[in-house]
Structure 1
Amino acid sequence: MTTLTDFPSPSLIALTSIELEVYEVGRENKGNPIVLCHGWPEHAYSWRHQMPALAAAGYHVIVPNQRGYGNSSRPEDVTEYDIARLTGDLAALLDHFGYDDAVFVGHDWGANVVWSMALLHPNRVKKIINLALPYQARTPMPWIEFMETLLGADNYFVHFNHKPGVADAVFDKNARQFLSNLFRKNLPALPPEPGMMMINLAQAEEPLGEPVMSDAELDVFVASFEATGFTGSINWYRNIDRNWHLLADADPIVRQPALMIYGTQDMIPPSENLADFVPHVEVVNLESGHWIQQEKPQETTDAILGWLSLDLAA
């Protein structure tokens, strides 16, 4: 078990217009960078299990709390969280360290940023490893409209956009209960409840399944969100349609070597056409729910290092 006291101390790095809180290990491996990008509602700490092994394998491991999270900047303007800015932060982070490109690893929303990094800054991306969220092809209509048509107004992506501030207030009031109920594994197969899933989770007094992490590890996430609130992180969702427009002219094909790691118990389904958009992709399936690198830390680390070594040998 890794608590924050065992975790590396962060640096606050000033970029063009914001600051990012960044955790590093393996600085002695300068010249061989790997950047790990967390999802929602997470923290750089979600990569705690993989960081030492990646450093031992010869990587300079760079793990930011992305904008809206932790002690990184949290701009008030919603449009400050669009995909151009999120990927721009990662490009600026490479500039700070003097790197032309890096291996990028993402989970959940972090995976979306990494896929988009390959579209908007292709020369900065050497290889891609993404967990949970496969490449999302651009839909014929803007994404939120598409999701509402397909999944209804209570879908949390739709709700975040159409009822700004409502979910934020519920999560802020129930931060520990929400995160404790969310970070679960081995969930029973049950039909969805009526209402907005994430608000239901925040208000549920009895969690389902088993905890993904210890209470001490959960404390790290809880302390971070109790300090910042959830609005900055939810603002990523409030730019989904803006991102749809920003990506309109981007080449939709990801040309870098890529590894996609799915959790077989994740509610996010595998992509049926991943190789059409990511032609150099390999796929690994782990018996896991959504929180793959925390649920199956050793298996995730082994899959990452195994693929990196095989890809390097090729």
Structure 2
Amino acid sequence: MSTEKRIETIEHDGLVFDVLDEGPIGGEPVVLLHGWPERATVWRHVAPILNAAGYRTYTPDRRGFAPGARPKRRRDYTLPKLAGDIAALIDQVGGSAHVVGHDWGAATAWAVAGFHPEKVRTLTAVSVGHPASFMKAMVKSDQLRRSWYVVSFQLPFVPELIAKYGGAGFDRQLIKSGMTKDDVARVRAEIIDDGAFHTSLGCYRAVPLTDPRSVRFRITAPTTMVWSAGEVPLSRYGAERSADWCDGPFEFVALERGSHWLPTEAPDVLADIILERIQG
């Protein structure tokens, strides 16, 4: 079931989220979730491919990014809160949907599938594995070293000042991870210049508030985990061992080429993987 009217915004938890609603009105719903430091536009090359295949895509600006959804408290960015926003969107578009997420969008997608399993038809996670697997990777792999920036983001005001006034260094870190200069300019326009940088860090700053036991949820939806050999911030261990938390069909796809930024770097490849999962 799909709504016959286009959705431009949804309201949840006193916040307003902008949504890009594209594709055939009667198409099966696919929810696309962006990561950090990006917004819904990260899916601009993937969504048209899914639309051409007959699917209707809903691409929200998530909590901390949407102009009407930027609470300031750390506790407003815990995984249950992030998942609740997307569950509210899925309720509005028919009650269940295929869910796809990249980076923090993937972490959110895992949480939606774990906390609200009845709402997720299939799950495609890109780069970031199941939260419990990610935590285990901290002690079983080099993930702790890769996650140095998460610790730095806990410092109040310092990351904001570096991004705004020491921009060249911030930009270099994104380029080092594989992002193109054009996409760095998009991040600067959509996140920093638009005033979303401080609140976009809420998901990172809420990590210390997370009880590890709360993310030990099982996944019943058919799931595909996509990881690239060019990943800088995420280890293969956390992605591949996500299978340990999946009770339904699970496929691990390791791409030999590509960086962390797959939605913009390899949209055709990623769209094919998504379609294989949701059509399977």
What TM-score, normalized to structure 1?
Answer: 0.76
The answer to whether 1:58 aligns with 2:54 is yes
The AA in structure 2 aligned to 1:172 is: K
- Three-state SS of the structure 2 residue aligned to 1:137 is helix
Shift of 1:234: 0.7
Shift of 1:229: 3.9
Residues of 2 paired with 1:209 and 1:136: CA distance? 22
Shift of 1:283: 1.6
Map of 1:28 onto structure 2:
25
Q: Give the count of matched residue pairs.
A: 267
Residues of 2 paired with 1:53 and 1:139: CA distance? 30
Map of 1:48 onto structure 2:
44
- Three-state SS of the structure 2 residue aligned to 1:118 is helix
Map of 1:212 onto structure 2:
180
Q: Higher Cα Rg: structure 1 or 2?
A: 1
Map of 1:168 onto structure 2:
160
Residues of 2 paired with 1:255 and 1:210: CA distance? 33
What aligned pairs does 1:29-178 form with structure 2 within 5 A after superposition?
Answer: 29-30=26-27, 32-97=28-93, 99-137=94-132, 151=144, 155-161=148-154, 163-175=155-167, 177=168
Q: What is the CA deviation profile of residues 73-93 of structure 1, one whole-angstrom value per residue up to 9, with x for unaligned ones?
A: 111222111111111100111
Shift of 1:293: 1.7
Q: 1:223 to 1:101 in 2, by over 3 A?
A: same
Residues of 2 paired with 1:109 and 1:210: CA distance? 17
Identity across matched positions, percent? 28
What aligned pairs does 1:211-290 form with structure 2 within 5 A after superposition?
Answer: 212=180, 215=182, 218-225=184-191, 226-244=193-211, 248=213, 252-267=217-232, 268-271=234-237, 272-279=240-247, 280-286=249-255, 287-290=257-260
Segments ≥4 residues shifted beyond 3 Å: 138-141, 177-180, 208-211, 217-220
Q: 1:11 to 1:295 in 2, by over 3 A?
A: same
Residues of 2 paired with 1:118 and 1:28: CA distance? 24
The AA in structure 1 aligned to 2:150 is: F
Structure 1: which 5+ residue stretches go unaligned?
Answer: 1-8, 185-207
The AA in structure 2 aligned to 1:282 is: E
Contact 1:35 1:62 in 2 (8 A): yes
Q: 1:71 to 1:229 in 2, by over 3 A?
A: closer
Contact 1:168 1:229 in 2 (8 A): no
Residues of 1 paired with 2:211 and 2:53: CA distance? 37
The AA in structure 1 aligned to 2:161 is: A
Residues of 1 paired with 2:179 and 2:39: CA distance? 17
Q: 1:264 to 1:92 in 2, by over 3 A?
A: same
- Three-state SS of the structure 2 residue aligned to 1:28 is coil
Map of 1:302 onto structure 2:
272
Contact 1:15 1:96 in 2 (8 A): no
- Three-state SS of the structure 2 residue aligned to 1:22 is strand
Shift of 1:159: 2.4
What TM-score, normalized to structure 2?
Answer: 0.84
Shift of 1:249: 5.0
Q: What is the CA deviation profile of residues 230-289 of structure 1, one whole-angstrom value per residue up to 9, with x for unaligned ones?
A: 1111111111132325xx356622111001111111121113532221242112222111
Contact 2:34 2:101 in 1 (8 A): yes
Contact 2:16 2:66 in 1 (8 A): no
Map of 1:193 onto structure 2:
none
What aligned pairs does 1:186-197 form with structure 2 within 5 A after superposition?
Answer: none
Structure 2: which 5+ residue stretches go unaligned?
Answer: 1-5
Map of 2:172 onto structure 1:
181
CA RMSD of aligned residues (A): 3.0
